[in-house]
Structure 1
Amino acid sequence: MSYEQFAYLYDELMQDAPYDEWVRFVKEKLNQYHVGGNNLLDLACGTGELSVRFAKEGFSVTGVDLSADMLAVAQAKAQAEGLQIPFFEQDMARLEGHEEFDIIGIFCDSLNYLQSNEDVIHTFTSAYNHLKDGGLFFFDVHSLYKISHVFTNQSFTLADEHLSYIWNSFAGDSPNSVEHELSFFILDEQTGKYDRFDELHFQRTYPVQQYSDWLAQAGFELLEVSADFENKEPKEKSERIFFIATKKPSF
């Protein structure tokens, strides 16, 4: 999917996202599982906020995203920080032309934007094929509870002077999916009028066991499943589920 105009609003809307928590979480787990390399592939990297943060922490980062608009923002952001981060416009389910990495991450529930079982399976296979033996694969997803109780049939609004939005969420046609209808109103400072932009976003999630089965099918060994940055097993009302898997060394 293309984020179009949304790409240029994303960072402002996500300014309270726990990016530092993701960086802390990854560094903690790399130490825990004794992964020495720092070559990191940031899949569905979006505007590169995490790519930049990881690079500033000393990681050798490559970013991949399907949206050219998102990547344009990411590249400008990296250059502004004086960082050399290669970004590629690719589908994470169909990676090609890359080396193997020590760490691969799909952060910020980006996996939930894949619309079919097959896309998730292909993404796991792509990640497996691009991960070094003993490397770690991280991803986080919305829980079934969040999709059905936090998002579905809910409305969210923001009313600031220069940016406002109306965000309505409805149950999607697929099981455990949601469609987000977003209307943005952005102040044109030259005319004093507001421009309107509309976006439709789709997200879908699956039970923890389904993700676990697909990881095993791709060849991964699942190391742990936790929720909400707490290093604890998911509970009934957990909202964000974290998976860590490894590529077992081949002999």
Structure 2
Amino acid sequence: MNNNLEEYSDPISYDIENDAYTGELNFLTEWAIKQGGPVIDLACGTGRMTIPLAQKGFELIGVDLHAGMLEHAKKKAEDLNIQIEWLEQDCTALQLEQKSPLIFMVGNSFQHFHTNEHQNLVLRSIHNHLENDGVFIFGTRFPTMDELLQPSTEEYWKTYTDTVENKKVDVYTTSDYNPLEQIQHYTTIRKYMDDGNVVEERKTNISLRYTYPKEMERLLSENGLDILHVYEDWNKSPLCKDSDEMIYVCRKGRNCLVKGTRNPIK
């Protein structure tokens, strides 16, 4: 999945644009209190959720494939004098030295696993690293008609201020959905403004897999994960046909042998 990392090439800019969002924090805190640690944050990026959970006193392990994002996360944690174990690993083939009672994957990172094979691999890898009765929490975008049929022409998304370059940034997107692969190909255009004029334009590309609710039920079940709850947001609102997200809380099934897996942890 290295070809899908363009959006994360500038960790500092990524943080400026995304770090203020902490919508998952209360939800994850509640489950960390229930489950205990160590808590594993998969596809942790620059530590957007890893660091605030560690600040609350939980033991955290942050795992990501992107070395640059991890380096930035490490520096942020060091500046705050927070102890977190950071590991550069592929989530489809985790080789951790311990199991966890709670693993989570936020930021719609599950959509980076494009094929059925990769979806199975990441879920089997998670299953192998959960303790008995361990919980896996993740979110992914809901494949509504509005979500999938976004325009192929530039559409305004949002505006934020780049505090490093001291410029307002208008963000636009274009998209192209491939229904055979269930993959949405996005281009994000960031227009850096100065006195109302565009002084620079930066484009990044990313491709995201959409999974339907009934498809997800079977996928999780076949990989040894029992669904405890499904919500439309991190405030525990019930999922409905007009939802934007699907938030899953799953428990590792008891006495479950996942086909084709071998647990590397003794």
Q: TM-score, normalised by structure 2?
A: 0.81
Q: Tell me, in whole angstroms, the C-alpha distance in 2 between the residues paired with 1:4 and 1:144.
A: 23
Q: Is the 8 A contact 2:182 2:209 kept in 1?
A: yes
Equivalent residue, structure 2, for 1:190 = none
Q: Tell me, in whole angstroms, the C-alpha distance in 2 between the residues paired with 1:238 and 1:4.
A: 27
Give the counterpart letter for 1:103 in structure 2. L
Equivalent residue, structure 1, for 2:233 = 228
Q: Tell me, in whole angstroms, the C-alpha distance in 2 between the residues paired with 1:82 and 1:186.
A: 34
Deviations 1:207-228 (A, max 9, x none): 1111121111111111111112
Give the counterpart letter for 2:183 in structure 1. S
Equivalent residue, structure 2, for 1:72 = 71
Q: Tell me, in whole angstroms, the C-alpha distance in 2 between the residues paired with 1:208 and 1:61.
A: 30
Q: Is the 8 A contact 2:32 2:58 kept in 1?
A: no
Gaps of 5+ in 1: 188-192
Give the counterpart letter for 1:156 in structure 2. Y
Q: Is the 8 A contact 2:19 2:48 kept in 1?
A: no
Q: Is the 8 A contact 1:163 1:184 kept in 2?
A: no
Equivalent residue, structure 1, for 2:185 = 179
Equivalent residue, structure 2, for 1:84 = 83
Equivalent residue, structure 2, for 1:52 = 51
Give the counterpart letter for 2:26 in structure 1. R
Q: Tell me, in whole angstroms, the C-alpha distance in 2 between the residues paired with 1:72 and 1:231.
A: 33
Q: Tell me, in whole angstroms, the C-alpha distance in 1 between the residues paired with 2:147 and 2:76.
A: 31
Identity of aligned residues (%): 21
Give the counterpart letter for 1:181 in structure 2. T
Q: Give the C-alpha shift of residue 169 in structure 1.
A: 2.6
Q: Tell me, in whole angstroms, the C-alpha distance in 2 between the residues paired with 1:166 and 1:49.
A: 21
Give the counterpart letter for 2:169 in structure 1. S
Q: Tell me, in whole angstroms, the C-alpha distance in 1 between the residues paired with 2:141 and 2:87.
A: 26
Q: CA, structure 1 residues 71+165, in 2 after alignment: closer, same or farther (shift >3 Å)? A: farther
Q: Give the C-alpha shift of residue 97 in structure 1.
A: 3.2
Gaps of 5+ in 2: 257-266
Q: Is the 8 A contact 1:94 1:122 kept in 2?
A: yes
Q: Is the 8 A contact 1:167 1:180 kept in 2?
A: no
Deviations 1:137-172 (A, max 9, x none): 0000000016325x5546235375525254323123
Q: Give the C-alpha shift of residue 9 in structure 1.
A: 1.0
Q: Give the C-alpha shift of residue 72 in structure 1.
A: 1.4
Q: CA, structure 1 residues 222+64, in 2 after alignment: closer, same or farther (shift >3 Å)? A: same
Q: Is the 8 A contact 1:55 1:61 kept in 2?
A: yes
Q: Tell me, in whole angstroms, the C-alpha distance in 2 between the residues paired with 1:6 and 1:194.
A: 19
Q: Give the C-alpha shift of residue 67 in structure 1.
A: 1.1
- Among 6, 9, 24, which residue is 1:5 paired with? 9
Aligned to 1:9, the other structure's residue is in SS state helix
